[in-house]
Amino acid sequence: MPAFCELIEKLSAERNLTDEELKALLEREGPDDALFEAADRRRREIYGDEVYIRGLIEFTNYCRNNCYYCGIRRDNRSAERYRLTPEQILFCCEEGYRLGFRTFVLQGGEDPYFTDERVCAIVSEIRARFPDCAITLSIGEKSRESYQAFFDAGANRYLLRHETASEQHYGKLHPAELSLANRKRCLFDLKEIGYQVGSGFMVGSPYQTTDCLIEDLRFLQQLQPDMIGIGPYITHRETPFASFPSGSVELTLRLLAILRLMFPYALLPATTALGTLHPQGRELGMKAGANVVMPNLSPTDVRKLYDLYDNKICTGEESAQCRGCLEQRVRSAGYRIVTAVGNARREQP
């Protein structure tokens, strides 16, 4: 097995490693500085010091699904449910636009109240009012026809993490009615329709092994998404996984760096979950290769209710404060927030 620095060099040059080499890299003990430096170098080559911002609007926490890890799962009776009105959503966009956001991410549980018709009406309205912005949806698994309708209404990006690419592991994280096959079908449909697609997975979710992570990387190589969102799994007290430990910051950072070297052009967010487990988690994420942050634009009074996992940060501030705080953090890490739609760059042919 090649030494650590040889693995890094090979990964940088070839954007790939064998399964055995990935395993060695993922399971290695000891400092990762050389890996982070290689990832940061690659990121600066392609994206310079630019960090893109996405305004996150968490517009409903009703969900028909029952994922074992998620705090807003259907069976969590102690979750206080809310949904924003179209007017509230538009107000968040207006505020966001004023603060310099040019991408809005509408995320929510799979809420049957938001029929295709309602989603399309909201998307068309945002599209009409903010023609220079990207509209991202993150509302789970739908039929191809629904995805097409949202796209025709003006949505152009979609975030849907695959969560885990191992069939067996998928079955341990989800009830029987959910399948990896359908999740993948959704992702390929979204790509074919023409969306810019974001996928990704949780790091350290219950029953995850190194082999699962390697399968995640292999699946991403097949999908080639524009964005890859990863964050540590964080335990939520009111789920079947309440007694499992949270994932680790270290492994998340290591994976971010590996992703930057494997997918040099990908957009990689430094996630809220990473910031929740470590006070400088997002800064460390950027130094390991991340180049996107997603400040919260949801109305302050509902933020605590979008309770995916325990102790989620950024639930107290106003949008402007959230934006300001992240500006500071990005700067302290040595990068700079840019006001732009922030598409993924593409390789020159």
233 makes contact with ligand SAH (CB under 6 A): yes
273 makes contact with ligand SAH (CB under 6 A): yes
106 SS3 class:
strand
Residue type, 342: G
CA atoms within 13 A on the CB side of 206: 17
Report the C-alpha gap between 81 and 101 in whole angstroms.
Answer: 27
317 makes contact with ligand SAH (CB under 6 A): no
Binding-residue total with ligand SAH (CB under 6 A):
19
Cα→Cα distances 15→62, 150, 258, Å = 40, 34, 9
Q: 176 CB contacts (<8 Å, ≥6 apart)?
A: none
109 makes contact with ligand SAH (CB under 6 A): yes
Among 308, 313, 333, 337, binds ligand SAH (CB under 6 A): 308
Comparison of 110 and 125: residue with beta carbon closer to ligand SAH: 110
Quick note: the x/- pattern for ligand SAH over 71-100, rule CB under 6 A, is ------------------------------
Report the C-alpha gap between 209 and 81 in whole angstroms.
Answer: 34
Among 140, 225, 269, 285, binds ligand SAH (CB under 6 A): 140
> What length is written for the chain?
349
Shortest Cβ distance from residue 17 to ligand SAH (Å)?
A: 25
Stretch that binds ligand SAH, among 97-105, 125-133, 156-164, 315-323 (CB under 6 A): 156-164
Report the C-alpha gap between 36 and 257 in whole angstroms.
Answer: 6
Quick note: the x/- pattern for ligand SAH over 38-77, rule CB under 6 A, is -------------------------------xx-------
Report the C-alpha gap between 305 and 179 in whole angstroms.
Answer: 27
174 makes contact with ligand SAH (CB under 6 A): no
Stretch that binds ligand SAH, among 97-105, 157-165, 166-174, 186-194 (CB under 6 A): 157-165
Report the C-alpha gap between 341 and 349 in whole angstroms.
Answer: 23
36 makes contact with ligand SAH (CB under 6 A): no
Residue 126 host element (H or E): helix 116-129
Yes or no: say if 58 and 302 are a contact pair by the CB < 8 Å rule.
Answer: yes
Residues contributing to the site for ligand SAH (CB under 6 A): 69-70, 107, 109-110, 138-140, 160-161, 163, 202, 231, 233-234, 236, 273, 308-309
